[in-house]
Amino acid sequence: MLSWEKLPSKRVSNMALTDAKIRALRPPEKGKILKVLDDRGLYVFVYPSGRRVFYARCTPPSRKGQPKKEASAVRLGEYGVEIGLAEARRMAEEVRSRVKRGLPPREQDVPTFERVARQWLELRRAEITAAHADDIWRRLEKDVLPALGAIPLPEITPPQLLDVLRPVSERAPETAKRLRQYLSAVFQHGIVCGLVNGDPAAHIGKALRAPQKKHLPAITGREEFSTLMRTIHGYWGAPITRLALLFAAATAVRPGNIRLAEWGEIDLDARTWAIPGKKMKSRRPHTVPLSPFACRVLEEAAGFRRGRYVFPGRPNRPMSENTLNAALKALGYDGRHCAHGFRSSFSSLANEEGAARPDVIERALAHSEKDEVRAAYNRAVYMQEKRELFDWWGGVLEEVLSDSI
């Protein structure tokens, strides 16, 4: 613990902290510390180096007739490296509660697997959806924490990890593969925080049963695809479902992006759909050029507008995950074509007919460029070529459907 009063301070500011506000705090001059109060004794100290560290300010209770005891600063962890804002608030409350009862600020911290895993996931929440984060924790709770949760991180060995993952691998190889990735990420976090020296999960993948690759059904032949599109156009179910299928075909995006599409992301004048990074598999924003065909689908969908979602299920709720595949099944395409299959149809036909360079087709499908510098340099060029590609594709769909929409 540090003496609160002896800390060099530039000033103390009060504000309701958020992740954005913490990142925006400007470092003070050399030799000073900027203290920013959040609530109930939680502070973030901003150092000249730019480091942001959470502290809890607490004053031990004094007995009647005795001098008031000096306030202390209890370090909780560095923001963005060791803990996030929500975890810091919880820890500060815990520290103040213990001190108020005359106890030491906290018990000796043991970096158990569960504790470090919680810290890691708390930081990941800023990068992934809440549903994804909850799914990760459910998987860990089910298959990992019962065996490893209470074990200190430095004591966990590769054989212990294999004992946990092998039973999972036998019943669900893909799940075991993902769990190994999560385990490795937790240990990597532990390395950064100085809790462990290595990652025992790094090389155990080869000792697990390899998952079989799943090939999602897709129609890729021009004639059969034309029949599929005409069948979809005659779909007798909910009109919004028919439009969602047509839009999926026109944009070649993943089904999840279709069902979560929002009107605020659509610019019909510019003919673009700007998908935020948080909705993308790659976590990077993706702009889809909209063909005139796609725009007409959206104009018809606007007649069914009920809230922010383009293809709603209930008001202000997105379409169900199963809706598109259920419609294709009802049309007789179960096992032959799925909602994700429109991406393969687009890719196969565009490559087969030489509609664009292969790398342009890959960018149109949001397959990311590994070279970040080259990706940034080529973004504007790709956008124009992507627009030409999607306009060609929209023309193909219009020709197939002739006097449709």
d(CA 210, CA 176): 9
Parallel, antiparallel or unpaired: strands 286-289 and 52-58: unpaired
Catalytic: which of 281, 317, 357, 374? Answer: 281
Separation between Cα atoms, residue 384 and residue 267, nearest integer Å: 16
Taking only the tens of pLDDT, the chain with its 405 residues reads 444 444 444 455 667 888 888 988 888 887 777 888 886 678 888 888 888 999 888 777 766 666 666 667 788 888 888 888 888 888 888 888 877 777 666 655 568 899 899 989 988 887 777 778 888 999 999 999 998 988 888 889 999 999 889 888 888 888 888 899 999 999 999 898 888 889 999 888 887 776 666 678 999 999 999 999 999 999 999 999 999 999 999 999 999 999 999 999 999 999 999 999 888 887 788 999 999 999 999 999 999 988 899 999 877 789 998 999 999 999 999 999 999 999 999 999 999 899 998 889 999 998 865 555 444 445 555 889 999 999 999 999 999 997 554
Q: Are 32 and 48 in contact (CB under 8 A)?
A: yes
Q: Is 281 a catalytic residue?
A: yes
Please say if 286 is a catalytic residue: no
Asked whether the beta carbons of 95 and 58 are under 8 A apart, the reply is: yes
Where in the chain do CATH 1.10.150.130 domains reside?
113-207
pLDDT given at position 271: 96
Active site residue: 52, 254, 286, 363, which one?
A: 254
- 306 counts as catalytic: no
pLDDT of residue 6: 44
* CATH 1.10.443.10 domain span(s) along the chain: 222-401
Catalytic-labelled residue, pool 271, 343, 363, 386 = 343
Would you identify the CATH topology of the domain 222-401?
hpI Integrase; Chain A (1.10.443)
| Catalytic-residue membership of 367 | yes
Distance (Å, rounded) from C-alpha 35 to C-alpha 28?
10
Q: Could you give the angle at which helices 372-401 and 222-233 cross, rounded to 10 degrees? A: 70
Residue tagged active-site, from 124, 139, 166, 367 = 367
Write down the CATH number for the domain with range 2-100: 3.30.160.390
Q: How many CA atoms lie within 13 A of 30 on its CB side?
A: 0
pLDDT at 377: 43
- In the annotation, is 96 catalytic? no
Has 101 been annotated as catalytic?
Answer: no
| Alpha-carbon 130 to chain mean position | 8
Structural class in CATH, domain 113-207: mainly alpha
Task: Pick the closest to residue 118 from 168, 94, 82, 75 (CA basis).
Answer: 82
